[in-house]
Structure 1
Amino acid sequence: MSINKKPIVLVASAALAAAGLYQFAYGATVEHQSTEGQSKIVLNKQEGSFPYRSNNYTMPEKAAGAIANRTIPSDYKKIGESGSLELYMANASLAIMVKNKESGYVWASTPNDADLQNAELNDEWQTAVKSPVLLEYYNDQEMLSTGNFLSLGGKVDGVEPIEQGVRVKLTFGTLNAGIALEVKIENDSLVVSIPSDSMWEKGVSKLASIQAYPFLGAVHKADIPGYLFIPDRSGALIRFSKAHSRFDEPYVGKIYGTDYTSDGNMNTGRTSVPVFGIVHGSGQNGVLGIVEDGRFNAKIVAYPSGLSTDFYWVAPKFEIRYGYFQPTSKSMGGYNTFQKDALKTDRQVRYKFLGGKEADYVGMAKTYRTYLQEKGELVKEKSTKSKADVPMQVRLLGGETEASAFGAKVVPMTTFNQAKTIVDSLEKNGITNLKTVLEGWNDGGLNGERPAEFPVESKLGGNAGLKDLKKYLEGKDIPVYLYNNYTVAFENSDLLNFKSDAVRAINNEINEFPFFGWGDSDFFSDIMARDISPGKSVEIAKDDAEEMKDLGVDGLALDITGSTLVSDYNKKHPFTREQTANAYRELAANFKNNLSELAVYQANDYLWKYTDTMFGMGSGASQYMYETDTIPFLQIVLHGYIDYFGWPSNSASSPREDTLRMIDYGQYPSYLLTHEPYWKLRDTPSVDLLTTQYTDLEQPIKETYKAVNQALGKVQDATIEARVVPDYGISAVKYSNGVEIVVNYTSSDYTYNEVSVKAKSFAVIGGE
């Protein structure tokens, strides 16, 4: 397993002075503007729009004519209907069509005959595109192979009517195996499911994965304008294009991230929500897929045109069993094999069809937001935050461990008394709405022990000093969070017996990995970490909740645990990935009940119900070659429900760009600060931190906060309802209270609806 210790690498010279940092961040000219709602950030006008045509930004929508509709052939029979949808199935092929009754638009699971002829598919893909399911399986040589319903001698063993749909029993003759496929209309959604108890295997070959109706909504080249939506980090689009590069691999995003005990070190993408989507003509027709059952062992797979076929398509792939390498000796001898028992879980996808102005990525995000609301997983609390200044996260590094000839010792970077000084300094600069996170508060400092262990580090002030700081900040209405994680432990931890409490991988080996990366001192390069068994995580966290409650701290800042999800194959106390998620939900609920607030870094959506604040929110995608746009999908879902903050701005390579993106994405600022100069970290694992001393950052913090506060102050309680990109490097975000915020990333002034938006600046339109 590989976890970045902390993404706090400042891409700037270590010798950059405070004045130089300010110049770097905000340019040579800082002008006052008379227009209300305009920021002061005005920069060198030399860049042009070229940088904003990259996939790190969202592209403007091109005008498109009405999308031609497909007719429903006579051999398709209606099998389900609701107020807004009609569902049809072809008797012979089992292909389906879904008609949106309001718009009349028809979605099909199989491309039309003309597209199939033009696509020049080989025999394998000809059958795959026409099949209701695609499969991977382990053959009699235990090698992973691919096939589909038609190529594997598939036949229908029976069709049973169910409410607003059918249940079809499928047999794969070549494999001597079968499943039941259920297709129905439910609450104005198409629901496709494969019940776990319907799967059977009698042959030597064993099923490895399955995809049902993967070509639903597939588009041949760019015959239809639109895009695929994939949940890569904050969100990304793959626009349909006739001219593009040849790609080597599809997008594969493991829902909730890589499971290092089952997937090995394979990087399967970072996605915190189980969704995907397709648009046929922005503002005309769209569909959002939500992976419900089986999502903990599923991937979102998206193929651009030019990779295997000429079609753009996206679908979930459900794992049925995992393959792995089983070592038989210490010299790495062994063999490849696979799980003998299939994962016991139902598999289900819900499709929600969007029309008109809701048929775009914003409509998808709003649809998912409503879905979570209805399930009680996203709760909006009553608040009047929009009448106050926006919050800012202040991460205060307390103690860090230092290498020396006589062993490790603690370097105090910010004592509890010094923390008061930093807060006072921010307050003098008009920043009073703070969320203060104490990192390295524990015995041994930040990287002396993980998880952080009590008692409180004496060099920082001990328990008495922490209580005094809490009392001091309480008078200023500033909450204090203690930073910790309950997923990763160092080998020196006193909290665990690693033989029994460490997670074991699928091959029964303890899941062990080096915690520190290339930027760290050689002294720390051999420190190994292990994942903690989920049951033990809950136990440790319960003890900590009591300690924190006694100390009077306001909340926990939970790192790693919210974004990392692994199985545990320990035979004495095994955990499936879903069981691990439920254990973490229990852990979060306990903190929520014992403390005032719970903040989670990069939380996966199964923890959103318990999350008051989200830290470390990503505001970008992976920028794979086939991605054409980065979008704020997660931010649109969450704004107005959970306050979210990015990574510290003093780690940004382009601080002014970072500030504008915060405003565009509705994100609040964060800084990692110390009282002592950063050079004192030179012999610690935090050697990669630069420019953390608060006195060096006072001016940049003041300017960044002022700009973000001016932009987002009126919309803290509001939800994002629309986002348009009228031109390259320009975005306009409309909120539920009528406020519209226009961001101009470019080097030239821009006029939006008769409002002039300065270069490298923003404008706030509307509101009280």
Structure 2
Amino acid sequence: MCSKRNFKHVGIIVLAMILTVSLLASIAVNAKRERIEFKLPDTSTAETRTNRYTQYHEATKLSGNILTTQGFEKKLENDWMELWFREEIDSIRVVDKKSGYIWGELEKDAMDELNNYYNTMANSLMTIEYYDTENSSYQMSLSDERFMNTYEFDTDTATMTCTAECEDIGIDIGFQIQLVDDHMTVSVIEDSLQEYGDTLISKLYLLPFFGTVKKGSMDGYLFVPDGSGALMRFSSTAEYDSTYTARLYGPDASVDTVNTEMNLLSKRTNDYLVSEFRATVPVYGVVHGDEQYAAMTVVEKGREYATVDAALAGSTVPYNRIMTCFEYRQLYNQPVSKSSTIQRPQADANSMLPTFSIYLLSGKDASYSGMAVKYRSILEENGTLEAEAKASETIPMRLEVVASDVKSGFIFNSVETFTTVDEAKQMQSDLADMGITNLTMVMNGWQKGGASASKYNSYKTQRSVGSIKELAELRDAVKAAGGSFYLQTKVVSMTEDQGRPSYLAAKTIAKKLTSYHRDNKTIMYQDTYLIRPTTAVDKLLSAVDALSGFDLNVPKLGSELYSDYRQDGNTTRAKTRSLYAKAASTAAKDAQLSMSTPNMYMWKNCTDYFDIPMMNSQFLFESDSVPFLQILLKGHVNYYAPYANQGFYTTSCILKTIEYGAYPSFIVMGADNETLSKTPMVDYFSLNFEDWKDTIDTVYSKANAALKEVEGANITEHKAVADGVVRVTYSNGARVYVNYNSADCTVDGITVPQLNFVVERG
């Protein structure tokens, strides 16, 4: 029996509990009343104003010509243009007959803003750089009094010829300028370069300041082949003293310093640095007033040794300019002991015949889009883009399946199986159930030893993955559903476990093994070796024979262009290009080839183009990313975006895929993600197919809804029509509008929903 005293204690406790609950409830109500909800800020506007996108810009109409022909004499002409010349300063003017616009270099003989060094170069038809006996570099322009110049003009062939002799430095050279239909071709005369002194020619510039524009004098931009394509817009306020400098077709790993260490000033290894995109097409241009006047330059010969130099007006040189530099020699580090090197130039000049053509454009053609369409027509005429892309009712999707790779062990390494052939078949079946039948499947790591440790000249399959017969059955299933199937075969690169680098790898000019080094001691393979070009060609052709019936994915064949300085015979960079292009042509007769970011000379024999750049390298002086590559390729070669499940799957990325007409890509495996640990695949943080299945469905569905309407068609125009809104026009009359903004936008009478797209059929 409870006492009254106990009841009193219980009552006090209950009362205290009631008061506590009431107090907490009151606090909660007040907190709810005063709570400020946090909302993520709208970053779409800030994002679309970066140089990862094409910017909307209303160009100011040019009032007229900046240059005149006063003081110049008309020497040559054809139906499209006139060439005027002034011998006193060794300079020209070119008149576009269609528009009446005058092209040339500086407005005056000399500009106060430039020192003598740049004044002589800016108004000169030619500038050379050379090394003296101390390996110091010097520059000399055609207007230098030490040059003895002779000019001839042939009106029948519309050709100007210049021979320049300089006994002072012991270098002679000759070049021609010829008016050929709608373009002007500039070329070095064969065998005209003579070196007979102690100096060595290093670089050659022809028409270096053609199309130059003084800071703040007009609207316009420079177009450079960086990534998908980049614009460098003229500015009256910004000053950039850094320049865009890119070797066409990428650096030569056997000559250029490709493993230069850079300091991130952080605890991360420098392995996390992101490389800039390569210049995969030999074309650039300058626009004077958007859709008003433009000059597009196509480098035709000497591409392997040509560099595009572009610079916006800066404090040192207040002129926007773009030019080609042909490199006859480079400095390299020559070992003199185990611990020291000296810099010295190449002994022999690179063998080439520098040639480029300038096309003058006007009206709507005078834009990055117009340049791309014009250059595409050139590639169609010369056979580079003669094939038409296979059109279908749905778009293709790339699915790279990682089958196996080597796994690091305490004593011995083993092979980790990520995906069996049966699991790959199930993936194909699951995707077919989702409506994805046009599959471009790539099998990576099918060889014995896995992707990174399979022997270079072996075609045996990894038993735990499946047999060659089972791979053939998988191939047949993919093709029967309407897709395509590739076996990945690395013919250009290898790790130390795939063979003897001392025997298989190319050698640098300093007689070291040609390789790429990753500054990360935690990974399995820090060095990737590049194979001797002659050996790589043999491997490609033998792979086609050994894997008869299979199409091949050859990742680096189209993107790596390098020399080989072996004692038993050198292979020049130009020879490597010729070897690889010829081998691809031979291989393509029996097997289709897919490549990753191939250079232009490989497009003719590339059925599927993987990892196409979707922006520029984001240099500060670049203002816009534009789909120049995509305009060239659409309707001819199927091209695919980077792997969506490696960061390219956001809403903006999906919209970018649609804007650029690219097909989605995924890299997957059947195993759990933790199995990637202690393998070379550890860079891929998430590959499990089941984890990504829903994302694959979402990304593909959106891309297919837009791009199936333009399958097989060419892009005829790409243009930003409002802030954050672009319009892409196709040859079948369809127009694709993409809105990156967080609000609906109406353009051309069409309302495009926020972060979405609209397709207007033709």
Q: TM > 0.5 between the two?
A: yes
Give yes or no for the alignment of 1:381 onto 2:381: no
Give yes or no for the alignment of 1:242 onto 2:236: yes
Q: CA deviation at 1:712?
A: 0.5
- Aligned match of 2:510: 507
- Aligned match of 2:560: 564
Following the alignment from structure 2 to structure 1, what is the Cα–Cα distance between the partners of residues 49 and 629? 22
Following the alignment from structure 1 to structure 2, what is the Cα–Cα distance between the partners of residues 500 and 679? 36
- Aligned match of 1:5: none
Q: CA deviation at 1:307?
A: 5.4
Following the alignment from structure 1 to structure 2, what is the Cα–Cα distance between the partners of residues 464 and 369? 41
SS across alignment from 2:681:
coil
Give yes or no for the alignment of 1:689 onto 2:684: yes
Give yes or no for the alignment of 1:642 onto 2:637: yes
- Aligned match of 2:113: 120
Q: CA deviation at 1:205?
A: 1.5
Give yes or no for the alignment of 1:617 onto 2:617: no
Q: How does 1:99-114 map to 2 (within 5 A)?
A: 99-108=95-104, 110-113=105-108
Following the alignment from structure 2 to structure 1, what is the Cα–Cα distance between the partners of residues 291 and 435? 43
Letter paired with 2:624 = D
Give yes or no for the alignment of 1:192 onto 2:192: no
Correspondence for 2:580 among 570, 579, 584? 584
Q: How does 1:20-169 map to 2 (within 5 A)?
A: 46-70=42-66, 72-108=68-104, 110-113=105-108, 117=111, 120-151=113-144, 153-159=146-152, 161=154, 163-169=157-163
SS across alignment from 1:253:
strand
Q: CA deviation at 1:452?
A: 7.6
- Aligned match of 1:448: 453
- The question of whether the paired residues in 2 share the 8 Å contact of 1:287 and 1:352 is answered with yes
Instruction: Give deviations 1:206-241, integer Å, cap 9, x for gaps.
Output: 110010111100000120210000001111011010
Deviates more, 1:572-581 or 1:356-365: 572-581
- Aligned match of 1:764: 759
Following the alignment from structure 2 to structure 1, what is the Cα–Cα distance between the partners of residues 335 and 73? 53
SS across alignment from 2:642:
coil
SS across alignment from 1:51:
helix
Q: CA deviation at 1:315?
A: 0.6
**Structure 1 pair 350/563, CA: closer, same or farther in 2 (3 Å)?**
same
Q: CA deviation at 1:510?
A: 2.3
Give yes or no for the alignment of 1:575 onto 2:571: yes
Following the alignment from structure 1 to structure 2, what is the Cα–Cα distance between the partners of residues 197 and 763? 57
- The question of whether the paired residues in 1 share the 8 Å contact of 2:131 and 2:137 is answered with yes
- Aligned match of 2:371: 364
SS across alignment from 2:722:
coil
Q: Which runs of 5+ in 2 are unaligned?
A: 1-38, 261-274
Letter paired with 1:259 = D
Instruction: Give deviations 1:290-325, integer Å, cap 9, x for gaps.
Output: 011111101000011005310000011001112212
Q: CA deviation at 1:91?
A: 2.4
Following the alignment from structure 2 to structure 1, what is the Cα–Cα distance between the partners of residues 373 and 481? 36
- Aligned match of 1:216: 210
Instruction: Give deviations 1:58-114, integer Å, cap 9, x for gaps.
Output: 111213223411564354233332221112221222211111111111111x21029
Residues matched between the structures, number? 708
Letter paired with 2:754 = A
- Aligned match of 1:259: 252
Instruction: Give deviations 1:88-144, integer Å, cap 9, x for gaps.
Output: 221222211111111111111x21029x54x51122122221222222210231122
SS across alignment from 1:726:
strand
Following the alignment from structure 1 to structure 2, what is the Cα–Cα distance between the partners of residues 208 and 291? 19
Correspondence for 1:728 among 723, 740, 750? 723
Q: CA deviation at 1:428?
A: 1.2
- The question of whether the paired residues in 2 share the 8 Å contact of 1:450 and 1:490 is answered with no
Q: CA deviation at 1:287?
A: 1.0
The percent of aligned pairs where both chains have the same amino acid is 28
- Aligned match of 1:13: none
Following the alignment from structure 1 to structure 2, what is the Cα–Cα distance between the partners of residues 179 and 325? 28
Give yes or no for the alignment of 1:403 onto 2:408: yes
Correspondence for 2:625 among 630, 638, 651? 630
Correspondence for 2:177 among 175, 179, 183? 183
**Structure 1 pair 158/85, CA: closer, same or farther in 2 (3 Å)?**
closer
Deviates more, 1:585-594 or 1:706-715: 585-594
Q: How does 1:420-459 map to 2 (within 5 A)?
A: 420-449=425-454, 451=456, 453-459=458-464
Instruction: Give deviations 1:365-402, integer Å, cap 9, x for gaps.
Output: 111111111111111337543xx000000000100111
Give yes or no for the alignment of 1:414 onto 2:414: no
Following the alignment from structure 1 to structure 2, what is the Cα–Cα distance between the partners of residues 277 and 474? 42
- Which has the bigger relative contact order, CA under 8 A and spacing at least 6? 1
Correspondence for 1:229 among 223, 228, 231? 223
**Structure 1 pair 619/749, CA: closer, same or farther in 2 (3 Å)?**
same
Deviates more, 1:337-346 or 1:734-743: 337-346
Correspondence for 1:337 among 344, 348, 353? 344
Instruction: Give deviations 1:645-670, integer Å, cap 9, x for gaps.
Output: 01110011652211110000000000
- The question of whether the paired residues in 1 share the 8 Å contact of 2:240 and 2:312 is answered with no
SS across alignment from 1:345:
coil
Letter paired with 1:532 = I
Give yes or no for the alignment of 1:529 onto 2:520: no
Correspondence for 1:319 among 290, 314, 327? 327
Q: CA deviation at 1:686?
A: 1.1
- Aligned match of 1:489: 494
Instruction: Give deviations 1:523-575, integer Å, cap 9, x for gaps.
Output: x145x3321111111111111111111xx32x111101211100112242321
SS across alignment from 1:410:
strand
Letter paired with 1:176 = G
Deviates more, 1:651-660 or 1:180-189: 651-660
- Aligned match of 1:8: none
- Aligned match of 2:540: 541
Q: CA deviation at 1:149?
A: 2.6
**Structure 1 pair 587/680, CA: closer, same or farther in 2 (3 Å)?**
same
SS across alignment from 1:197:
coil
- The question of whether the paired residues in 2 share the 8 Å contact of 1:60 and 1:726 is answered with yes
Instruction: Give deviations 1:328-357, integer Å, cap 9, x for gaps.
Output: 2112x2322112222221001100111110
Q: CA deviation at 1:576?
A: 1.3
Q: CA deviation at 1:690?
A: 2.2
- The question of whether the paired residues in 1 share the 8 Å contact of 2:715 and 2:731 is answered with yes
Give yes or no for the alignment of 1:476 onto 2:470: no
- Aligned match of 2:663: 668
Give 1 or 2 for the bigger CA radius of gyration.
2
SS across alignment from 2:65:
coil
Q: Which runs of 5+ in 1 are unaligned?
A: 1-42
- The question of whether the paired residues in 1 share the 8 Å contact of 2:389 and 2:635 is answered with no
TM-score normalised according to structure 2 size: 0.89
Letter paired with 2:253 = Y
**Structure 1 pair 322/548, CA: closer, same or farther in 2 (3 Å)?**
same
SS across alignment from 1:574:
strand
- The question of whether the paired residues in 2 share the 8 Å contact of 1:437 and 1:481 is answered with yes
Give yes or no for the alignment of 1:351 onto 2:346: no
- CA RMSD of superposed structures (Å): 2.0
Letter paired with 1:287 = A
**Structure 1 pair 440/67, CA: closer, same or farther in 2 (3 Å)?**
farther
- The question of whether the paired residues in 1 share the 8 Å contact of 2:373 and 2:631 is answered with yes
- The question of whether the paired residues in 1 share the 8 Å contact of 2:73 and 2:86 is answered with yes
- Aligned match of 2:33: none
- The question of whether the paired residues in 2 share the 8 Å contact of 1:236 and 1:627 is answered with yes
- The question of whether the paired residues in 1 share the 8 Å contact of 2:250 and 2:279 is answered with yes
SS across alignment from 1:725:
strand
- Aligned match of 2:303: 295
- The question of whether the paired residues in 1 share the 8 Å contact of 2:407 and 2:413 is answered with yes
Letter paired with 1:464 = K
